[in-house]
Amino acid sequence: MEEWKEVEIETVSDGLDASPTELHASFEITSDHLSEVRDRHTMMLVNSGELPEKHLDSIAPERRLDWMLEELNGVRHDGGLVIPLQGTESENVDLSFGEIEGSNYLRLKIGSLDRKLPLPRDALDIKAIIENGILKLDW
């Protein structure tokens, strides 16, 4: 004898007995234009944020560094940075030092995360150590 397991079927109505949540979900699923609108809105937000960031970067790169460190839960100290990377394999962490438009930058890549950290002018000789899942940078 064959055994059958009941499969629950969710019914979505688009008539007068449908809830607003069901109607909204149905509308989002069937409308292709919303994804295009969302993509363009995101692009506009990214582009509009670039101008203030570029201006801030040119007049006060230290403030941008502080914001980046806050995003990464890092801490700044005299002559260096500390960034927690618990759960990240050290082989997946790529660091590179470079210059962009006359300012020193440290590029931190961890998988798909790619951040360019502006460094103080005196940061020329970077020493990096990962100890117990914590990246320690000194200059």
pLDDT score of 122 more than 60: yes
Tell me the C-alpha distance between 4 and 52, whole Å.
Answer: 62
Q: Average of pLDDT values for 10-39?
A: 72
pLDDT given for residue 54 in this prediction = 66
The DSSP-derived string for 2-54 is -------------STTS-HHHHHHHHHHH-SHHHHHHHHHHHHHHHHHHHHHH
Tell me the C-alpha distance between 116 and 95, whole Å.
Answer: 10
Q: Average of pLDDT values for 5-19?
A: 66
SS3 124: coil
Tell me the C-alpha distance between 76 and 98, whole Å.
Answer: 19
For residue 112, CA distances in Å to 38, 91, 115 come to 22, 14, 10
Q: What is the pLDDT of residues 34-56, one digit of tens each?
A: 777 877 887 887 777 666 666 66
Neighbouring residues of 97: CB distance < 8 A, sequence distance ≥ 6: 104, 105, 106, 107, 126
Tell me the C-alpha distance between 122 and 136, whole Å.
Answer: 17
Q: What is the pLDDT of residues 55-82, one digit of tens each?
A: 666 666 667 778 778 888 889 888 888 9
**What is the H or E stretch that residue 96 is in?**
strand 93-100
